[in-house]
Structure 1
Amino acid sequence: MSDTSAVRPDIAPRPPLPGAAAPRGPRARLVGPLRSLFGGLALVRESTVAMIGAGLVGFWVVVALLAPWLAPFDPNSQFVPFAPPGAPHPDGGTFLLGADHLGRDILSRVIWGSRTVLFYAPVATGCAFAVGIVMGLLAGYKRGWVDDVLSRLSDIILSFPILVLYVVIISTFGASGINIVLAVTFASAPGIMRIVRGLVLDLRNRDYVAAAQTRGESTAWIMFVEILPNARGPLIVDACLRLGYTIITIGVLGFLGLGLPPPDPDWGGMVNQTRSMATFAPHMTIFPVIAISSLVLGFNLLADGIREISLKD
């Protein structure tokens, strides 16, 4: 009896049909998204505005990552109150940006404050996008009563001034990093939901969605695999803009005394603590304000550059 499992030498393997996708292994599934990510980052070079924005954002990211090595002194150690920029430090070195009313080195606090902003702003924005995207996908794809309920809920939340929502939530639950994330998520998710819903209403009628429905794919597969990747362009631009808004929000909450509790370095809190003394020691407020403005400007320029690139395509 012949071995039926052996391949007959006179029969060659059938070649794949034209256009048929080759089976993808785990490595291919990992390399594909990474290649798309780096390809998208390479597109930033096509816009001067995007390059400037990426440079500003990248600068602060590097500062935040290297804060323990870049900060010349401990951000909470007290030395010489109201020391002007360039004044000598008692332990050696120089107060490059001066010292605040408690004698803390402003440069060190600005450097460590970048860690605070660049941690909580992306986390809060990411949580808001996660909730808003799920709500928008459900409302736009399912329609019917699901759309009505989610749309009315978002209308109710958006009817309140966003800053009032932040103040009410944080005043109720207390000032902390987690509560800032919760406040930003609660107030920002409805706006993101509206954007995603509008995109889904257009994409749900495309041929590839109909093909997925014909194949019997699940609703979750169609929403997250077929529709969401094709809506990523406008969402990336909106994410960059919202990161800038969230940074401003964190700064405003810190200025109102609703940011991170002291003594953690917080750019908005630094301005709040020294604003009454800005007339005779302006360096205590100028440098935190410059830090906030430059980082927000970087995200806005990056968003404008990405929009410019998408319009060219």
Structure 2
Amino acid sequence: MLKLNIKNETSRLQAVLLGIAKSNGPVPTPEEAYDPKSREHILSGTYPHEENMIKEMEAVVKVFEKHNVKVYRPELIGNCNQIFARDIAFVIDDIFIKSNILPDRDKEIHAIDYLIEQIPPDKVITLPEKAHVEGGDIILYNDYIFAGTYTRADYPGYITARTNIHAVKELTKLFPNKTVKAFDLRKSNTNARENVLHLDCCFQPVAHNKAIIYKDGFLNKTDYLWLVNFFGKENVFEINKEEMYNMFSNIFSISPEVVISDKSFVRLNNWLKDQGMTVEEVSYAEIGKQGGLLRCSTMPLIRE
């Protein structure tokens, strides 16, 4: 049986689910795009090629192997985008929570049935249907669960709004010993520079007590200020709109001392190195064209 354990974003990683890019399906039409960044690349003819995305993901596998991390992959579903493993489920403590994601993507969870069968059944949770949530909106910080959401009345009009207040309430009930802190995120169906798809597109903890934050990703300035105060201004790396668009906050921690980052994130990577961290640099720009990066394509299962 798999003994799950995830309490934060940075403790030493032991096992992870990494998505796959094989048999990714045809280039979607603009109408089929789930997010404005994908749509942008579909319209400009720069949507990523499958072989390039496979190559990018295999480089990440090599980094995990180098650091003795057990890597699980989904089973293959033909002509299906299975890159973004973070969307379909997430782990809090030793509980595996199935996401209620876009209906078109329901089948992706069945590609990891073999994994779910290794988890004690009482540790597998399916939230009520009205509780919409994706793993990219859930960030753990020990006794805190940070949740990205969108609470305004026009929620149904945004394909980019993935986590609602019902999910926040369910998580609060499921984890009474933790503080669930919700953040309203900026959404746009058409402009990738004005859209924060998930919380990890504008915020992520790194190392022991530091964080990457994009100020304008939050609809309420008080939320941004709360985070800066929580981590301490000296421990926060602030990114700008272009860096958010390129997903600087969507890196992935193997431990408090080691992160995987895109090699083009020079300003961020230099800061991380200045903090004494090892930065495993990979190319992930092709996958990034679909609105997700390193954190989006990984679902941690076990950390120390």
Q: Higher strand share goes to which structure?
A: 2
TM-score by length of 1: 0.26
Question: More relative contact order in 1 or in 2 (CA 8 Å, sep 6+)?
Answer: 2
Q: Higher helix share goes to which structure?
A: 1
